[in-house]
Amino acid sequence: MARKTPTIVAVALNPSWDRTIEVPDLEIGRHVRGRLLSVHAAGKAVNVARLLASLGTPAILTGFVGDGDRDRFAASFAKTGVRVEMFEVADAVTRENVTLVDPARSVDTHIRDAGFPLSGDDLERLRKKLHILAAKGAYVLFTGSLAPGMDAEAFADLLRVCSEKGARVAVDTSGPGLEAVGRVADLWLVKPNRAELAEIAGRPVDSDDAVRAAAQALRDSVDEVVVTLGADGAMLFARAGAWRARSHLDPEAVINTVGAGDAFLAGYVHRHAAGAKPDECLRHGVACGTAATLQLAAGRINPHDVTTVLEKVEVTPLA
């Protein structure tokens, strides 16, 4: 009998529309002509849900969008394995990030909007939603930035709702969101990069030994800690052991590293939900993260690239 895929929920507290415009010979302060390249729903949780679907694993996307944007978000996921169950916030506008691509100078300029704040009533709506979705054995992925003004305790409250229901809760965020990690027991996964791990630890983690020590310190409240290290791969610290994975890909093949961390998380969860062992989840996560760097568009992968890269991922146990 085929294994039933558990419920996987990606929570977007601060999603966006990402608009990319090509502007040759861009000069600030002048009227210039541009060409719209793309507009798409984005944000880390949005990317992870889309990536899971591209790997063949269905997901639910919930969280908040601006007034009138729910149907537009849902339309962007038509004919995918993502079910959109977002809340609209009255009189709010979904943030829009703009990337200006100057092909003449091979330079990109990224303009990031802050987003809109959430009221106590908004968070209570999401709290009730998560209480329904976060069944025992489900995966709930909190990934991306918090909404403006949202503090660590408000975020920790959402994490507790899910962990207390028996869901596997994953956290991939920064800033105030990282403060919540130490306030909640029984998290399944935390995925910081080196800088974020240093933020949690309150000290630099410039060496492998420092990474190991800081990650192991989290293991009292977190089952699995994955530290992504960019071109140096990733380390996994779990109850079953510890491993390091590296992809032996030619650096010249890399096109774009934006969204590679989202692809890593999607690949890791995809294999974990299928019942794979931790080291195999790590291998697949690194393969998906690496495959994402081969795409011009952020947060996208070609499944064929994943298969090819898997053969070049080396996983070794850590003593």
- pLDDT tens digits along 14-35: 999 999 999 999 988 999 999 9
Q: What stretch of H or E contains 268?
A: helix 260-273
pLDDT grade for 2, boundaries at 50, 70 and 90: low
Domains and CATH numbers, the chain: 1-190 (3.40.1190.20), 222-319 (3.40.1190.20)
User: Do 214 and 192 touch, CB atoms closer than 8 A?
Assistant: no
CB atoms within 10 A of CB 206: 10
Active site residues: 262
Those residues with Cβ within 8 angstroms of residue 319's Cβ, 6 or more apart along the chain or in another chain: none
pLDDT in tens, 252-275: 788 878 889 999 999 999 999 999
On average, the pLDDT of the chain sits at: 93
Average pLDDT in the 222-247 region?
94
Q: Report percent pLDDT > 70 for the chain.
A: 99
pLDDT of residue 1: 46
